């Protein structure tokens, strides 16, 4: 695992509507952030959540889930024509 993942710089944010958001967790490790995001997706329909993101220390989105679409970032499949490592 890289040092980037080990730093406690990740945040989990839920959105319930236009410009309405709530931090579920801030300044936590990457693994824990994804665990919390997964739990939030499991109960999104009961809580009215329509979008969940995980951001890193630079405020970049590293994970996104949307109601009706599922995980939208990172893409589950590479874009057509993308070179694989």
Q: Find the Cα–Cα–Cα–Cα dihedral 8, 12, 82, 77, rounded to 10°.
A: 120
What percent of the chain is modeled with pLDDT above 90? 73
Q: Say if residue 1's pLDDT is above 70.
A: no
Q: What is the mean pLDDT of residues 13-31?
A: 93
Which three-class secondary structure state does DSSP give residue 66? strand
> What does the block give as tokens for 28?
């936590």
In the chain, where are the structural domains located?
Answer: 3-66
Q: Tell me which DSSP letter residue 38 carries.
A: H
Per-residue confidence at 84, pLDDT binned at 50, 70, 90?
Answer: low
Contacts with 1 (C-beta within 8 Å, 6 or more apart), sequence order: none
Q: What is the mean pLDDT of residues 34-62?
A: 95
Per-residue pLDDT of 29-46, as tens digits, reads 999 999 999 999 999 999
């Amino acid at each position: 695992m890289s040092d980037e993942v080990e730093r406690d710089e990740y945040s989990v944010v839920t959105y319930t509507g236009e410009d309405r958001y709530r931090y579920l967790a801030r300044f936590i490790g990457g693994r824990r952030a994804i665990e919390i995001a997964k739990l939030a997706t499991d109960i999104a329909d009961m809580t009215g959540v329509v979008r969940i993101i995980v951001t890193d220390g630079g405020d970049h989105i590293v994970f996104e889930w949307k109601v009706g679409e599922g995980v939208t970032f990172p893409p589950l499949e590479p874009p057509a024509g993308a070179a694989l490592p």
